[in-house]
Amino acid sequence: MMPLEEARDELKHLLVRCEQWLRMVGEVSDLLPDTRDLESDVERMAAMRTRTLSTMLKVALLGRQSSGKSFLISGLQGGLEYLPLVDEDGEPSEEYRGILPSSASPTTACPSTVVPVGDDPTVDAYGRGLLRVKFSGRADWVEIGTDLHRAEVAAYVAADGIRTDRRSEHVNEQVERIELLISKARLPIKLFDLPGSESEDEERDEIMYEAWKEADCFIYVSQATEALTSNELRLIRDLYAHAVPARKRVLWVLSGIDRAQHQEGNQAAWKGVLATNNQYLHDRYPSSGDFLGEGFLPVSAALEAQAEFEEGEGRDGSSLRRRARMGQLRDRLQDLLESGAGHKHLKLVGDEAGWVVRRRRRTIADVLDAHRVAVDQLEGQRDSLREELEGMDESLRRMLTELDDELERRIREAQRPFGGLDRELHRGLDDLIDAGNLSDEHVNEIGIRHVDLFNAWMTDTDGPGTRWERERAALDDSARQFLRSEFGEDTGSRLVSPEPLDLDSIQAANDGDSPWRAYGVVQDAANVISVASPIAGGAVWLATSLSVATIAVPVGAAVIAAIGIARITDFLRERESKVQQARQERKDMIDEQAKEARAGFEEMVRGDGRRVIDAAAEYHHRHRTRLRATLEEIVQRMNTEDTAGSREIVARLTPVEERGRAISTDIQELLDRNRTP
């Protein structure tokens, strides 16, 4: 595998070539049947350059309110400034200015995303960055401005921001989420700053949990001035239920150690909090080493900002920098980036760029092929194309009928084990339920056991998740076999050869409009860019790609989907009923959860199966579209005696098609050299 930076630089160069080639296509657009979206493809390629530079790892920061998430983000990306001050009484004080608002009181009012854009000339993100806002009920992002005063940023972002500091037309708007695009960043990662866990806003909680699905990994932030409490029990338990099946890494951070330096028991107070927090996790998740990782890392973005101030004044800041430990946190994130997420990201961008070029080149090649046909062959080619087109409707109907019937059979087969799910859960949970009084700690233990039992049952060799992997692969094979039997292979001997069924040609596109909502069921559930164990897959490509999808649905996806439907709730707290009645009610919940899990599983796999069928239908439709366009070209040539026009078309289009083919080859070679194990 190539070094990450080398692969990124080479892909960036290829994207520049792609953009230049698309402009070449524009110069011959008068010869092509449809170039309406050509300019959008040029813009899309420019956006891919930005994605190559910036969003190779997506990290969600979680924690209770005022845990220091916004402050930590500013520090991680080198956007935190230390300002020594003197108050009106002449006493020294200090202030910190970051790229996101932060304070001792609850700050972040909506999900915020900090996105590095590097030296992208299309984005004006100097200074403190470009602020973009999505308002409730409005489809488009609104650019507020670049290098804004922190009061202006807080007016849109912070819970205690002053609305009158906004633009007048935005004073009464409800902010749904914000993005801050920054040109200078220490890490090429996208950071999600999510509202604190104590929020009572259900809609905000829904947005927060949806954001988890897009994240590659998590940073759980806890303040060094206070140990973990039972208020955080549910958030950590939900994180466990999400991260373990998806095999996503969690980094635990104890922030603000500079504010807990006073001595307690012959050591700094933060060290006691650190030990307490680590013990808290180990007591509740004793067999979850991957989830706990190395435990809490103590850091201080403030100390690092002080070190940079001292160094800027010509003094030694190395001691402050060591105590800050921010470099260790960046190293851990860089390790995650190098371990697979970075290469996975580059592959997705490369796949998308390759598809754009192939789609445009295929159109050019089709026109070229039509004009290269000898005049005395035109009539035979016309009749052959007409005959092929006449059978397309019946072919599509037959394929959809066969695949629909097969999908339902395979869903039933995958669902068979659900008849024993309730018994399996009762066998593993009833004794534990009877052993306690359903306190918060007892409910948490039940929840963890529930997740582990369900995960193991789903991923067993005969579990529904494993069964569906086999059934889905068989459905995919059936779709491919049908298409091959109808259209044959791309041998180059036919006027309109079918597109190759390229298993690696997966379109991984995001329209940029809804960063954690615009995902299909498969990507929602499987989180296709997993860090510890990258998952090959995709679904969004169906709107455009010519290839049948390789939507690999790992068993983890099925687990997440079902847990999402039957997520453990906490409504059995503090009841007036007797403990025994509460225990029975908890057991009764198991039966209902088993039913909901089955329904959720069925919904997920049916949607997944429909994507296979839709992919086949899309492939079928696009081949028919190409047949019709070629037929029109043939008929048009038959209606004119001037073959000189065809020779001119061939002369103009040939170099464009050849250069597009060379770019496609180079992209594929880069992807092959960059392929993850």
In order, the DSSP letters of 582-638 are HHHHHHHHHHHHHHHHHHHHHHHHHHHHHHHHHHHHHHHHHHHHHHHHHHHHHHHHH
d(CA 639, CA 174): 60
Distance of CA 549 to the CA centre of its chain: 18
User: Which of 567, 518, 514 minimizes the C-alpha distance to 540?
Assistant: 518
d(CA 21, CA 261): 59
pLDDT digits (tens, 9 = 90+) for 59-98: 999 998 778 899 999 999 999 999 998 877 878 888 999 9
3-state secondary structure of 181: strand
Tokens of 366: 């089709």
The mean pLDDT of 301-322, rounded to a whole number, is 95
Say whether pLDDT at 112 is over 50: yes
- Looking at every residue in the chain, the average pLDDT score rounds to 80
d(CA 97, CA 301): 11
Return the amino acid letter for 486: E
361 touches 660 (CB < 8 A): yes
Please list the residues that pair with 177 across neighbouring strands: 134
The mean pLDDT of 623-649, rounded to a whole number, is 80
What does the pLDDT read at residue 46? 80
* Global confidence as pTM: 0.70
Return the amino acid letter for 360: R
> In this predicted model, which residue has the larger pLDDT, 197 or 345?
345
Tokens of 374: 């000898």
Listed range (41-50, 336-345, 647-656) with the worst mean pLDDT: 336-345
What are the CB-based long-range contacts (under 8 Å, 24+) for 442-448? Answer: 443/570, 443/572, 443/573, 444/233, 444/237, 444/284, 445/284, 446/568, 446/586, 447/237, 447/241, 447/568, 448/237, 448/240, 448/284, 448/285
Q: Rounded to the nearest 5 degrees, what angle is found at the Cα of 510, between the Cα atoms of 465 and 243?
A: 40
Q: How confident is the model at residue 56 (pLDDT cuts 50, 70, 90)?
A: low
pLDDT digits (tens, 9 = 90+) for 135-173: 988 888 999 999 888 888 889 888 778 888 999 999 899
d(CA 173, CA 135): 6
Is residue 174 classed exposed, middle or buried when 0-12, 13-18 and 19+ CB atoms within 10 A define those classes?
A: exposed
Is residue 359 classed exposed, middle or buried when 0-12, 13-18 and 19+ CB atoms within 10 A define those classes?
A: middle
What single DSSP character describes residue 142?
Answer: E
What single DSSP character describes residue 28?
Answer: T
CA trace torsion 370, 374, 378, 380 (10° rounding): -110
Q: Rounded to the nearest 5 degrees, what angle is found at the Cα of 347, between the Cα atoms of 208 and 516?
A: 15
In order, the DSSP letters of 109-140 are -S-EEEEE-TT-TT----TT-EEEEEETT--S
Tokens of 171: 């004073």
pLDDT digits (tens, 9 = 90+) for 235-277: 899 899 888 887 889 999 999 999 999 988 889 999 999 999 9
d(CA 612, CA 603): 15
131 touches 78 (CB < 8 A): no
In order, the DSSP letters of 360-424 are HHHHHHHHHHHHHS-GGGHHHHHHHHHHHHHTHHHHHHHHHHHHHHHHHHHHHHHHGGGGGHHHH
Tokens of 126: 């100097």
What does the pLDDT read at residue 516? 29
- Give the phi and the psi of residue 607 in degrees, each rounded to 5: -60, -40
